[in-house]
Amino acid sequence: MPDAKMAAAMGAYRIFVELCRDGCIVGIGSGSTVKRFIEVLDVGEPAVARSLYYATSVDTAIHLSSRGLRVLDVSMLMNEKLLPDVYVDGADEVSRELNLIKGGGGALLREKVLAYLSRRRIYIVDASKLVDVLGTRFPVPLEVVPYTLPLVTRSLESMGYMYRVRSGSGKLGPVVTDNGNYVVDVYTGPIRSPETLESKFMSIPGVAATGIFLRTLVDTVIVGFEDGSYKEVVRT
Ligand code: 5RP
């Protein structure tokens, strides 16, 4: 049965093979759509087999390794000779201007670092992720240094925001990210200026990253549809 996430993943795979014919350095985001992308990688293809991969989460690293692919430690990103040529990730919301909300999987800080450092950033989404205005469906996640949590939540309250400290199942207490941080989901409602909100949240000490990915971190969005087709939207 056609699958919109798989359609987007196939679109990204075609671009990836074209860009990385003899292998390159690839950043890989997190989430269910990214898992489809990892599934469609043909490990017999030189572009795939000869590439080196950065993972934005332990989850993604496990999936890449299970396909026999070589995963670099994220500390290698600080070596300017080992920056990713291409980055592939999902998103929770995509606006008409190509601003994004990300972080549904709690990997926002590493995702932002990878997106910032990569030469070509490709996001794969199903059509349900397209919104007129950001903040319509998803809260904005903040990755927060644990001991600053009371400071961050007090600041959000004084700004008038509803929020929830993210918790999971299988363990009591807050979700702890792969960087040892907490995630606070902020219910912003429609976001008129993503740039202003990004600056506002980042002005709170203890916020390590927000899930607002401004369009400057986006080169291409591939939107998949249920009938198996996809369209490529390029930032102009
Ligand atoms: C993880 C993310 C994901 O890319 C985002 O939540 C989309 O996930 P999915 O593809 O499962 O819908 O930002 O932090």
pLDDT digits (tens, 9 = 90+) for 144-190: 999 999 999 999 999 999 999 999 889 999 999 999 999 999 999 99
**Mean per-residue pLDDT, 53-77:** 98
Does some domain include residue 193?
yes
Q: Are residues 186 and 86 in the same domain?
A: no
Q: Are residues 100 and 200 in the same domain?
A: no
| Cβ–Cβ under 8 Å, residues 41 and 67 | yes
- Which residues are part of the catalytic machinery? 111
Does some domain include residue 148?
yes
Per-residue tokens: 235: 């930032």
Q: Are residues 179 and 75 in the same domain?
A: no
How far apart CA 200 and CA 193 sit, in angstroms, is 11
Q: Are residues 62 and 86 in the same domain?
A: yes
Q: Are residues 99 and 28 in the same domain?
A: yes
Per-residue tokens: 25: 């350095």
Percent pLDDT > 90 in the chain is: 98
Query: Above 60 in pLDDT, residue 8?
Result: yes
**Mean per-residue pLDDT, 184-204:** 98
**Mean per-residue pLDDT, 23-38:** 98
Atom of ligand 1 nearest to the CA of 125: 10
Atom of ligand 1 nearest to the CA of 124: 10
Query: Above 60 in pLDDT, residue 1?
Result: no
Q: Are residues 122 and 203 in the same domain?
A: no
Q: Are residues 93 and 112 in the same domain?
A: yes
Q: Give yes or no for residue 89 CB within 6 A of ligand 1.
A: yes
Q: Are residues 21 and 113 in the same domain?
A: yes
Q: Measured in angstroms, how far is the CA atom of residue 27 from the centroid of ligand 1?
A: 15
Atom of ligand 1 nearest to the CA of 89: 4
Q: Give yes or no for residue 91 CB within 6 A of ligand 1.
A: yes
Does some domain include residue 223?
yes
Does some domain include residue 74?
yes
Q: Are residues 105 and 181 in the same domain?
A: no
How far apart CA 38 and CA 15 sit, in angstroms, is 14
Q: Are residues 89 and 40 in the same domain?
A: yes
Q: Give yes or no for residue 29 CB within 6 A of ligand 1.
A: yes
Q: Are residues 191 and 97 in the same domain?
A: no
- Provide the domain count of the chain: 2
Q: At a CB cut-off of 8 Å and minimum separation 6, what does 181 contact?
A: 109, 143, 144, 145, 146, 208
Does some domain include residue 117?
yes
The predicted model scores a pTM of: 0.97
Does some domain include residue 135?
no
CATH of the domain at 181: 3.30.70.260
CATH of the domain at 48: 3.40.50.1360
Q: Measured in angstroms, how far is the CA atom of residue 196 from the centroid of ligand 1?
A: 23
Query: Above 70 in pLDDT, residue 2?
Result: no
- Could you tell me the residue range of the domain that residue 162 belongs to? 140-208
pLDDT digits (tens, 9 = 90+) for 205-215: 999 999 999 99
CA 131, 134, 135: angle at the middle one, nearest 5? 115
pLDDT digits (tens, 9 = 90+) for 103-142: 999 999 999 999 999 999 999 999 999 999 999 999 999 9
